[in-house]
Every structure is written in C-alpha cells, then in structure tokens.
A and B are shown apart, each in its own frame.
Chain A
C-alpha cells in the first residue's frame, strides 16, 4: 500500500492507504481526528472545511495522493495552535454569540469564517455582507444570523 505523509495540526503523520482515498476519510477513519464532519462528500455542504497551508478547503474532495509531505493541514482541533492559545479568536466569538445548536456544522463554519476574514483582508477590506453571503457552509439548525455576528466579532480580534 502506498505511504503518504503530511503535517496534521503541527505533527508529521504517515499513513498507508490507497492513493485515491479522499483526505477526509484518512483524517477521520484512519487518523481518528473527528472535528471535520461528513455532510455530503461532494464539496457542497462544507461541513468538513479545514485549512491547507492556511487556506480553507474541503478534504472530502482531495485525494490523499495530492497532498505533499510539507503541506500543513489544520482541522478545528489544530486551529487554536495556529495562534498559540487555548482558543482561536473565532472560537471565542462563537462562544460569545452562543452560535452552536446541534453543533455538527460548526467546526466547518469556524474554519470557513477564519479563511473568509483573511480572504477579505487580502482583498483589502474587512469582511462584510457580500463576503458573508458567499459562505457556503450549510447549517440545518439555522444559526446563520449568529454566524454573521460572530464572524464580525471574531474578525475584530484576528
């Protein structure tokens, strides 16, 4: 079986698995890191949103063979580590606004939010309604308004 290696939440990991297995299943079923959630498997619900080298992506739609050894994958579990704290400011904002209900989509929502704020700033502006409208992550509990408020609060502390 082919061997694949990459950085996951700051640690180099190595797995033996076929090339075409999507990264989500490597993370969940083999490495047993359960923060990224399955909701569709075709990159539309965004529940599995993680970061690759600091950018948001969906591991349900990336073959493990397409990940390079020096790629840094960050799941919700590794997000606080990127700022050297117990919680990332976006997680703090999520707590402040009591965003979560069932919670299933929220790891993905938070990862998307962090990337969205960075993306807006790279484009030279702060995150606004037009950016928030582009967040594709589904929440079946309907926490969308609290997400919008929390993203703005989180951005203030990022």
Chain B
C-alpha cells in the first residue's frame, strides 16, 4: 500500500487550512469543553470572499449534504476530563465504516494526545441539529473533518493558556505533547490537571489555527480501529446486548405477502400460555410476541393462527415488474449525428437486492404514558424521534433516542421501521421490549434495492464517441426517511436543478450522483421511476444507483472500444475525463499487470469511477473455467470466481489509509455479490429468499485469493467519502471481466438470477424452526 503525506500542492483548496483562522467556542462548565459548528461555523474566521459560481457538475450529492447542514449552525463538543481523557459525543452512526476512529484521530492530532485517551461515543438524537445528524452519502468525513479539528484545537489553546498561568510562562514557550504541556525547564502538567483551570467561566467565541498538513503525525497515517479490542473479545455492545431492566425479547409474526395486514388473530389466548411467553398483541405490521427468550418467541410465532389481509403487490412476480418497467422506459433519442456514425446499444436488467446487514433490525423500547425511550442503531435518529413523537402523541422532547453501534447499516438503517414497531408493541403491552427481526423478516419484509433497467445508446465515428445516452428506469426508491428533508430543501436552489421541487427526490439524487467519466460528446442520463415510493418496501443498496448505472456504462464502453479496435485499458486512458481518474487507471493497469497472458475462459476487467470527491479504478481477474464454475462446496453457490483484484483509490486525502483500505475491500465484496450471485426473486407477492442460505452475498468461497488496495498519494488535500466508493467500479469490472472471459456480454444481473438455487421456505408459518442437529456439524 502506498501512502505518503501530502507535499505542498499549488493552488489546492486544502492547503490554506494551516494559515486560516477558524471560529469555535469555549463553553462554560466545570471542565474544559471546546466546541465548533458543523457546516457554516467551520468557515474561515476572516470574511470569506464569495466563490464564483461553480460549474453544475461540482454539485454532487456531498455538496448537497454539506450545504444542507449549513443553516443549522449547531455545535459539536470536545470535552477534556480531569482524569486526562477526552470525550467526543459524535452525532453520527458508527456501523463499521470507522468514523469513530477517524474522529479520534482528528482529535489526537490537534490535541497532541494519544489515541487511547480519546473516547468517542454516539450522540443521542439531538433535534436542534435538524438535518445534521444523518449518516449517509459517505459524507461523515467530508463534513466533520474541519469542525472536529477546530474544537480540538481550541481545547489545546485553552490548555496552553491555563498551563502558562500555572507555570508562570508564556504560551509560546510551552509545548503540548502526548497529553502534557511542557515548559522549557522540564516542568510539565497533564491535561487532566489543567482541565478544570482551562474550563470556560462563560461561553465565548474563540479563534484558532489548525495544524498545517506538514506537521501531521496522526492524520494520514494508517491506524487500527479504536474499537478493535472490544470487537475481538465480544465486549462490543449492540442494541440486543444491552441490559435494559425488564426489556424482554420480542419478535413479530409477519404476513405471507409483502405489506400484508392482520385481519384477526385466532388463537392469541392459547399462544399466550406457551412456555416463556408474556404477551401477544396485534400491531400495524403483524402480531408482536414477547417472551423470556427469542427462541420461545419463534416457537410462539410458529404456533400463531392469523388471518391475513392482502399486501401491496400480491400476485406480482419478477416478470410483471419487469414488464411494467419496460412499458415506462423513456425512448432513446435518435441522435442527430453524421449518417456514417455507428451505433452501440445495450439494455441491462438489475434485479431486486436486499440491503440488510448481518445484525438484523433491532430496537429496545420503553414507552410510558408521558415519555418514551428507545435504543437502536440509526442513521437518521432525529427523524426517528419525530416519527415516534407523532405516533405516540408525545412532544419531541419527551422522546429520547439513543443511537447504538450498528452491526452494519448500508442504507438500511435510515429507516426507523423496527423502532416504530418496538414502540407500538411496548405501548400496547405496557412493558419494555427488546425487539428483533428474524432473518426471514429481513429477506421477505425488509427493504429492497429496486429492480431497474438501464439502456444505453452510443454513436461513434472514427475515433470519437459523438453521443452517449443512458435511460435508467426503476421501481421507485424510498428516500422519504432520511434524505427527504435535505434534498427538498436544497433542490430548488442548486443549479442546474433550478426547476425546483417538481423534480422528486430520486431524480435529484440521480442527477447529483451519476456521471460518465469519459470524454464522450453529448451525454444525457435520465431516470424514470414506476409505482409509489412505498409500493415495495424499498431503499438503496450501498452506493445508491451507481453500481447499476456504471456497470451498464462500462460494459458498453468495452463494446465501443472493441468497435474501434482498442484495448479496454487504452481506450479508457484515451477517453478518461479527469487526471485523477487517469492516475488510478494507470496504477491498477501497472500493479495488476493489465494485458498479461491468461488461460482460456479467464480474463481481466478494468473500470473506473469518480464520486464522493474521489476517484477509483478496479482491475479484476475472473475464472470462468468449468472446473472452477462447477466446484463443489456443501450447500454453496460457487460459480465464476474472481481470483484477483487490484484497486487504486484517490480519496483526495486519506485520513486513515488503513480504514480506507478496509472500505475498498468491503466495496469489492459487494460488487462481486451484485454482479454474480446476490438477488431476490419476487413470486406472487413475496420474495422467495428466506435467509443467508438463499441470499448469496459473497462468501469465503467467492472471495478473491489476492486483493491489493493502492491508496494514492494525496491530491486535493481534502478527504473525500469512502464508504460506498468501492462498489460501482468493482461490480462493473467483474461484469466486464465476465464478458471477456465468456465472450458473452451479460445483460441481466446478478448473472445467476435465472437459476433458482434453493427450495423456498414456506411463508406460513412465517419462520422456519431452528434446527436441532447442530451437534452433528461440529468441527
């Protein structure tokens, strides 16, 4: 892995940070609390010269998210405690991305404090933050990089002043180092000893410098996760591991079709008498069962006799949805180009996919007559709090929402469905509940990345691509929880979206996230959606529409290259529209030995992507030889195997190159799954998949043997987003490699969707029994 600190880059936006002054706050209190504003407050202390209008393409989703945060002007605070530790209550969700580690690194850098002295926790819902407590769009590092540093730098300044008083020295003669302030004569005071003396007597605005990049010793260096020890010892707590007195296991008996409804519960009294069971009540989404153990809840759910009403898509199957999509497809325009131009076209289908994490949906709820308290992993906790208040008839201030560490999120935890359910159950039972979804619930009633098609038509003449049209048609994606406010508030203000609100959320997201990273002539990309946003319980997979949009594009790019008689790498090199894209492309070609001799039925694929203020290229090698495709592993879907992957990533500036590397590996695994194996099959209003033995996310037997991640040297000096950046190029490269290895361009994803590789589990009862033969499978 390559990573070196940034040399001075002329004209780079980030380079002035060290010389600019920033505004923050010293807050009144018994110990030192320094704060900074998210968004606007992190601006330079000098009056900023207004920027000239920026080209429309600069407004990507992250600009929207960052700008939406601006007017809220609220504070994040770094607290220095008398025991010498520092704490930071982060208004974001940690779900594996490594943002708590990132925050700790920023604080360690500006405060000159060892990482292990810093405790980063997740803030409860803070309604005053309005839009500024949303974790998504790979935006956390982008939006928090400066504010966290400002708060930490102010804290250091206050510690220095307090030390100067105590040591009778001038501040400039003192040195902060690893939690101590040292005087030239060797005298030193710990931050703990200074915390109270440095505390604010009154709240006041303070100016500070930030460390210049040239002095960084933590930021930009590879660091392990701050919660790694807790994770490997089993001590890391998730919502279901919390000891909330009296909160007993609770599960929901769910309908046999998507969004079906409860007509009547025919044997509630009987089921209530089952061992361990304390409560059985109908709620909006099914029948909630509470008991001593989750195992007994599963048994009770299996015993329930419920009459179900219809759902929203009963009788519909994959082919019906696809037919509706095809009817709604916007025609490709007939390009007005030279009559001698050749045309390359393709239509691609992307099937429904599940976005569930390994930790299922969970929530602990304690609803009283005048208050409510919930604990759950949430990407959008303020919305959850508002929804709960509305549902329970309470004021927002009477609802406390604790954000728990998530066992993965991937967009699924924007939605508060499990918390709403838990609150309803708690209210109706008059008891505390610890509610968890069964895995089957996740597959069959969980959120799904919508089925879509992407059609592309390109026209070429000689060595030029004259036009490149893409028409994306999709089942509606639900963006109403989490993204809604941000986008609606901003959409009307941002060029070229001046049309304002008549463009819906999805079109705004589409317009601000998609692009074609090549110098093609007239490029148009349009999205059209069918159905209501809630016809299917939908939500985005990691990276929203781009895994599909970019895979379609890159397959066509390979076709265009072939038509021009050019190699896929050299074609991309010639047409890449951005120097950073070109640099990562060259890097993977070099490290991955592009064009090396390979056996028949194996091939390389190479693609690029730019998003989240970063650039990425992925080179994969795939093995489609029969002996590999048909390899046998018990109860496993094997198929073509990606044997090697090389990823080069330029995030602008990597705060933690090791965390970035992990995110790229994860994105690669998602891309492999979406290209080759993972999808849902809709049949008669229900998804056939019932668990991980039906839903084929990448497993060890699908994992490449050789994965190399190259982190490029800093380019912009400012960190971009990492969480989702790895997915689209990975998926596209796997698809392109598959096309080259087999000689057939795949047009339906994942490629194995046409084969149902399992016997569907029954829908009534909705849950399978837990097996009893576990001792026959020990090893």
By a beta-carbon cutoff of 8 Å, the part of chain A in contact with chain B is 1, 17-18, 20-26, 28-30, 32, 34-45, 47, 52, 55-63, 66, 75-77, 80, 87, 91, 94-95, 98-107, 110, 115-116, 119, 129, 132-148
Contacts and interface: CB of A to CB of B under 8 A. Distances in A.
B410 interface: yes
Nearest to B292: A29
Contact of A18 (B276, B665, B772): B276
Interface stretch (B55-63, B93-101, B583-591, B710-718): B93-101
Interface stretch (B329-337, B353-361, B553-561): B353-361
Given A55-B778, A75-B234, A106-B232, A98 B294 contact: no
Given A100-B228, A144-B698, A42 B770 contact: yes
Interface stretch (B236-244, B455-463, B471-479): B236-244
B664 to A, nearest CB: 10
Given A145-B707, A146-B662, A66 B232 contact: no
18 contacts: A20-B299, A24-B295, A26-B293, A29-B295, A39-B360, A42-B693, A44-B692, A52-B778, A56-B778, A61-B773, A62-B772, A102-B357, A106-B231, A107-B232, A116-B779, A136-B700, A142-B668, A146-B665
Interface in B392-424: 405-408, 410
Contact of B96 (A22, A132, A141): A141
B214 interface: no
B439 interface: yes
Interface of B is mostly: loop
B348 interface: no
Interface residues of B, number: 76
Interface in B203-239: 224-225, 227-238
A102 B95 contact: yes
B407 A37 contact: yes
Given A43-B774, A135-B700, A95 B229 contact: yes
B666 to A, nearest CB: 4
Interface of B: 95-98, 224-225, 227-238, 240-241, 243, 249, 275-276, 292-296, 298-299, 356-360, 405-408, 410, 436, 438-439, 633, 635, 658, 662, 665-670, 691-693, 697-701, 703-705, 707, 768, 770-775, 777-779
Contact of A101 (B96, B697, B699, B775): B96
B227 A141 contact: no
A101 to B, nearest CB: 4
A61 B770 contact: yes
Nearest to A51: B778
Nearest to B672: A142
A115 B779 contact: yes
A102 B408 contact: yes
A82 B391 CA distance: 50
Contacts, number: 233
B408 A142 contact: no
B764 to A, nearest CB: 17
Contact of A38 (B95, B235, B294): B294
A92 B701 CA distance: 25
A154 B276 CA distance: 41
A59 B774 contact: yes
B230 to A, nearest CB: 7
Contact of A21 (B95, B293, B662, B665): B293
Contacts of A30: 292-293
Contacts of B275: 1, 18
Nearest to B356: A140
Contacts of B770: 22, 41-43, 60-61
A100 B659 CA distance: 10
Contact of A143 (B238, B294, B299, B662): B662
Chain B CB within 10 A, most for which of A104, A105, A147: A104
Contact of A144 (B299, B700, B773): B700
Contacts of A58: 774, 777
Contacts of A102: 95-96, 357-359, 405-408
Contact of B234 (A1, A52, A76, A99): A76
Nearest to A24: B295
Contacts of B276: 17-18, 21
Given A34-B237, A101-B662, A101-B666, A43 B692 contact: no
A43 B630 CA distance: 24
A21 B581 CA distance: 56
B98 to A, nearest CB: 7
Contacts of A23: 774
B758 to A, nearest CB: 11
Given A98-B662, A105-B358, A148-B703, 19 more contacts: A17-B293, A29-B295, A41-B294, A41-B438, A58-B777, A75-B234, A77-B234, A87-B233, A94-B231, A99-B232, A101-B666, A103-B232, A104-B359, A107-B234, A116-B779, A138-B358, A140-B410, A142-B666, A143-B666
